[in-house]
Structure 1
Amino acid sequence: MLRLTAESFRNQAIDAITSVKKIYQLNDLPIDTKISRDFVIDQLLTDRRINYGDPLEIDKIITGENQSNNQPSDFDQELDALQAEYETAVEIFNNLENIDYGSARIVAQTATPARCLTVKTLLLAKQIQEKPPKPNNPQRVIIALKLQQLRRQYNNPNISSPLPPAEIKRQVAEQIDEWLKVNAAEKQILNESITKLLLVADTGKKLSQLIDEYPNLSFEAIATRVTKIIGVAANFTGKDYSSTLGKISSLEYAINQDKTLRLFMREISLKKRNSQSTESQLCQI
């Protein structure tokens, strides 16, 4: 039962980490050859930072390679390392059913990685909420370009094939609506990613408590607790942003109410602020 809970903990984490990697990458530009080409032309004519003596820089602008803006590799490596920690933590449970003498001691050892990972996941959710990435910026670039073109037509009525002012205003209103749609879609995917992280942190918190109480619980009691832990996923949805913010606060409060988890929270938070490369002493077993 504990192994199944740990595996669920790990699987939830993999899903959450995958979603985090996705939101830290810019989405592809909408496929519109004319608009994309107009954007390149406009950039080549107006961007004073372009070094025309560097063929590689010009090639990136013309071919669109500069549109890909993946998060720096060290961030990806950090997420991969976090995922590897979950894999390592769950391995402890793999052969637990075959152990009789000493199993309680082995189970107790798993509390350390579970607690460490619980806190790390919650802090990652807070980081996204406080400093959200902008994966939909390429869509905003396209809308901004259209608005710029409409502005030029509005301020220069003598250009060829001018649009009536009323039509220009109507098209500007359309672009405003498109911008708001992009904002809403981006907020939704960020919210879903945060929610997945909170599910992992909540599962880890409950798993930590269950490990502590393991020696004094009957199989029936463990089975009941495990069923509740695994079933809690249904209560975590990423549809309501305000609800998600409330869950971050309540989960952080619950972790800080736990004397042991509070120590992990304090040490890992300090480690992140100091940007130390060494692992937290509490996270070592």
Structure 2
Amino acid sequence: MLTDSNIEFGIPKEVNRIITGESQQNAQSSDVEQTLDALKAEYDTAVDVFNKLETIDYESKRIVAQTAQPARCLTVKMLLLAKRIQERPPRPMDWERIIISSRLKDLSERYRKLSISSEPEAEEIKRQVVEQIDNWRKVNFSEQQSLNESISKLLAAADTGRKLSELIDDYPNLNFEVIATRVTQIIGVATNLTGNKYSSSIIKINSLEKEINKDKILKEFMKEIFLRNRQVQLPNSRLCQ
């Protein structure tokens, strides 16, 4: 890092490859931010609608019937977003890497300009490089922890949606006490679906995807959104409008 003048310090992925020794993985750019903005708008709308259930009892059955479709669509999208983050992780902390990379570039330039007799200064530069590399690794760790937590929260929301999807069809035939009990149970289980381990997130994604595909209705939503993400025309489908 100190002697190679061809290192592209302005490209965080290149510097990361040198520091971690890992090959270039997930090279495809992540479009998570754009997807998340769209999903948040849908989620805010869903929250607003379901909040009305607490105050408009005589319209509750009609509201639930109307929101079943967008709620199921939202459930599937949350699972797919978690999967996209896992497959093509965004790099929200690249701004910190750019600062560290700039410092490494300065140290590299200083090192190459040293005279042969400047050994104490060379050692000090090496010490500072090690310090910056440690900082870089801390950024990597912190970012991965944050992404894993985001995936876990999305999976918790998707799993809640999957279970509530089953409740939607039963809603007209159940009294308030039964509904309240089942909703409490569903939400209680969802709070246990948090964690920071990358490997466990992959297992949870695969497990939840299998559960959603067992649900005939949600499976159709999954199929449509999957094809839409690949820009396949679906002229006769009206599931996720």
TM beyond 0.5:
yes
Q: Which amino acid aligns with 2:92?
A: P
1:111 corresponds to: 68
Query: How large is the Cα RMSD of the aligned pairs?
Result: 3.4
Residues in 1 aligned to 2:234 and 2:77: alpha-carbon distance in whole angstroms: 15
Q: Deviations over 1:177-231 (max 9, x none)?
A: 1100000111122222222211211111111011123345455543331111121
Alignment length (residue pairs): 213
Q: Which amino acid aligns with 1:183?
A: N
Say whether 1:82 aligns with 2:42: yes
Cα deviation, residue 173, structure 1 = 1.4
Q: Deviations over 1:96-142 (max 9, x none)?
A: 5235xxx6565344321221110111111112221111111111111
Q: Which amino acid aligns with 2:58?
A: N
Q: Deviations over 1:47-77 (max 9, x none)?
A: 9xxxxxxxxxxxxxxxxxxxxxxx8996676
Specify whether residues 76 and 212 from structure 1 end up closer, same or farther in structure 2 by C-alpha distance, changes over 3 A only.
closer
Q: Which amino acid aligns with 1:142?
A: I
Asked whether the 8 Å contact 1:89–1:113 carries over to 2, the reply is no
Residues in 1 aligned to 2:139 and 2:236: alpha-carbon distance in whole angstroms: 39
Asked whether the 8 Å contact 1:191–1:244 carries over to 2, the reply is yes
Work out which of the residue numbers 158, 166, 172 in structure 1 matches 2:129: 172
Residues in 2 aligned to 1:163 and 1:275: alpha-carbon distance in whole angstroms: 63
Asked whether the 8 Å contact 1:112–1:283 carries over to 2, the reply is yes
Asked whether the 8 Å contact 1:89–1:114 carries over to 2, the reply is no
Asked whether the 8 Å contact 2:163–2:186 carries over to 1, the reply is yes
Aligned residue runs from structure 1 range 39-50, under 5 A: none
Residues in 2 aligned to 1:246 and 1:76: alpha-carbon distance in whole angstroms: 22
Aligned residue runs from structure 1 range 245-260, under 5 A: 245-260=202-217
Asked whether the 8 Å contact 2:156–2:191 carries over to 1, the reply is no
Scaled by the length of structure 1, what TM-score is found?
Answer: 0.63
Residues in 2 aligned to 1:280 and 1:175: alpha-carbon distance in whole angstroms: 53
Aligned residue runs from structure 1 range 44-193, under 5 A: 78-87=38-47, 89-90=49-50, 93-99=53-59, 107-158=64-115, 163-193=120-150
SS in 2 for 1:126: helix
Specify whether residues 213 and 79 from structure 1 end up closer, same or farther in structure 2 by C-alpha distance, changes over 3 A only.
closer
Residues in 2 aligned to 1:222 and 1:196: alpha-carbon distance in whole angstroms: 24
Larger RCO: 1 or 2 (CA < 8 Å, sep 6+): 1
Specify whether residues 126 and 213 from structure 1 end up closer, same or farther in structure 2 by C-alpha distance, changes over 3 A only.
same
Q: Which amino acid aligns with 2:220?
A: L
Q: Which amino acid aligns with 2:108?
A: R
Q: Deviations over 1:132-181 (max 9, x none)?
A: 1111111111111121122223222139x885333222222111111000
Structure 1, unmatched stretches of 5+, are 1-46, 48-70
Q: Deviations over 1:249-277 (max 9, x none)?
A: 11111101111111100011111210779
Identity %: 55
Asked whether the 8 Å contact 2:156–2:194 carries over to 1, the reply is no
1:8 corresponds to: none
Specify whether residues 86 and 105 from structure 1 end up closer, same or farther in structure 2 by C-alpha distance, changes over 3 A only.
closer
Q: Which amino acid aligns with 1:93?
A: L
Residues in 1 aligned to 2:229 and 2:197: alpha-carbon distance in whole angstroms: 29
Q: Which amino acid aligns with 1:126?
A: K
SS in 1 for 2:53: coil
Q: Which amino acid aligns with 2:41?
A: A
